[in-house]
Amino acid sequence: MLREISLEGKTALVTGGATGIGFAIAEQMIDAGARVIIVGRREEKLREAAAELGDKCSWYRFDVSETEKHAEFIQMLEKQSPIDILVNTAGINNKKDYFEFTAEEFDTIVATQAKAPFMLSQEVARYMKVRKKGCIILISSLAALLGMHEIQAYTVCKSGMKGLARSLARDLGPYGIRVNSLNPGFVYTDMLRNTNLKTPERLKEIEERTPMRGFTQTKDLGMAAAFLASDAARFITGIDLVVDGGISSSFLI
Ligand SMILES: NC(=O)c1ccc[n+]([C@@H]2O[C@H](COP(=O)([O-])OP(=O)(O)OC[C@H]3O[C@@H](n4cnc5c(N)ncnc54)[C@H](OP(=O)(O)O)[C@@H]3O)[C@@H](O)[C@H]2O)c1
């Protein structure tokens, strides 16, 4: 088991890897032996993260919503080292009243949270297909399981990621490529702080509604992603792995 769970010799590309969940995924994958490439838009965040992650981490400033640049970027990375694992963590949210949401705002969310992971996975899978192996992880959300307040565009995308994992698992499985989604539950990152939960009362409410009490920690996601990417999960594909302390599977009154 210890041998199978190792990521020694593998290279992972983690989008959004400079902060929050993506950072923890990069950290745990490095801990399991992988070499990790992190990408994001803010150079200072990438520099800070890479300094913390050490010499098994490299970084590139890359906006995943610029899908026209995907092919060239992935070709450049593949020349350095084959990408064994892709984790599509980059994401944004916009919490807003449904009736106020504009078409432009919708397009912005979709560009980063749906179109980018769809197209980037396609580009990376072109190379994995030739090698007959690879692992792709998409990030879904409780919004794909439960109706959540004022995050409709985000919900469209995250439900899409859960579905896309199933669909790609079906079509890429014959090429040895596994595709799963990872469902984080509530994680207290910048995204949650800025867009969803603000007041202490609301935080307490979530904690108390969670059967395991408290919030999912970023490390919980890091370890789950490292497991999904490892040979220990060699026959796991098409699932939505929920790491939420039981909140989505319980009806607490
Ligand atoms: N926190 C939660 O409770 C929760 C729950 C369910 C799902 N999620 C999902 O988990 C993922 C990570 O979110 P997080 O909570 O860790 O928040 P976060 O710290 O805000 O992480 C988002 C990351 O995505 C990067 N990013 C955003 N747009 C990008 C773009 N166009 N190109 C490249 N990188 C981009 C950001 O870096 P730059 O701004 O520098 O580009 C940042 O590093 C997201 O997909 C989110 O939807 C979070």
pLDDT at 253: 66
Q: Report, as residue numbers or ranges, the catalytic residues.
A: 154
Query: Which of 78, 59, 183, 57 has its CA nearest to residue 120?
Result: 78
Ligand 1 within 6 A of CB of 63: yes
Q: What is the pLDDT of the chain when averaged over all its residues?
A: 96
Nearest CA to ligand 1 atom 47: 91
pLDDT digits (tens, 9 = 90+) for 161-215: 999 999 999 999 999 999 999 999 999 998 888 765 668 888 898 899 999 999 9
pLDDT at 171: 98
pLDDT at 47: 98
Q: Edge-to-edge strands of the sheet including 134-139?
A: 57-61, 35-40, 11-15, 85-88, 134-139, 177-183, 240-242
The CATH number for 2-187+218-242, chosen from 3.40.50.720, 3.40.640.10, 3.40.309.10, 3.90.1150.10, is: 3.40.50.720
Could you identify the residue written with the tokens 């838009």? 41
pLDDT at 196: 57
Section 238-249 average pLDDT:
97
Section 35-54 average pLDDT:
98
pLDDT at 12: 99
CA dist 224 and 58 (Å) reads: 22
What are 247's two structure tokens? 């909140």
Ligand 1 within 6 A of CB of 191: yes
pLDDT digits (tens, 9 = 90+) for 58-107: 999 999 999 999 999 999 999 999 999 999 999 999 999 999 999 999 99
pLDDT at 203: 87
CA dist 139 and 244 (Å) reads: 13
Ligand 1 within 6 A of CB of 151: no
Question: Would you list the domain boundaries of the chain?
Answer: 2-187+218-242
Pocket test for ligand 1, best of 41, 53, 151 (most atoms within 8 A of CB): 41
